[in-house]
Structure 1
Amino acid sequence: MGNFYLIIIDGLGVGAQEDAADYGDAGSNTLGHVSEVTGVRLPNFARLGLGNIIPLPSVPPAGKPDAAFGKMRERSAGKDSTSGHWELAGIHLEKPFPTYPDGFPADVTEAFSKHIGRGILANKPASGTRVIEEYGDEHVKTGKPIVYTSADSVFQIACHVDVVPIEQQYEWCTIAREKVMTGPHGVGRVIARPFAGESGSYYRLSDQRHDFSYIPPEPNLLTLLQQAGVNTYSVGKVIDLFAERGFTQYRRTKSNDEGIAQLLSVMSAVQNSFVFVNLIDTDQIYGHRNDVAGYAECLENIDRALPAILKKLKAGDILVFTGDHGNDPTSPGTDHTREFVPLLVYPVAACKSPDLGTRDTFADVASSVADFYKIEGTFGGKSFIK
Structure 2
Amino acid sequence: MTASLTLDAVSKRFRGAPTTAVSDVTLHVAAGSCTAVLGPSGSGKSTLLRLVAGLEAPDAGRVLIDGHDVAGVAAERRGVGMVFQKSLLFPHLSVLDNVAFSARVRGESRRTARSRAAEFLEMVQLRGFGTRRVDELSGGQEQRVAIARALAAEPAVLLLDEPFSALDPALRADMHALLDELRLTVGPTILLVTHDRDEASRVADRIAVLDGGVLQHESDIAGAYRAPTSVRVAELMGARNLVPGVIAGGVHTSALGEIPVPDAAVSGPAVLIVRQEDVQVRRSAEAPTSQHPLAGPGRPGPRADGAGRAPLAVETVTPAPAQEARWSGTVESARASGARMDLTVRVTPTVLLHAEVTAAGAPRLGERVDLTIPTGTAHVVAG
> Do they fold alike, i.e. is TM over 0.5?
no
TM-score (norm 1): 0.26
> Which has the higher relative contact order, 1 or 2, with Cα contacts under 8 A spaced 6 or more apart?
1
TM-score relative to the length of structure 2: 0.26
Larger-Rg structure = 2
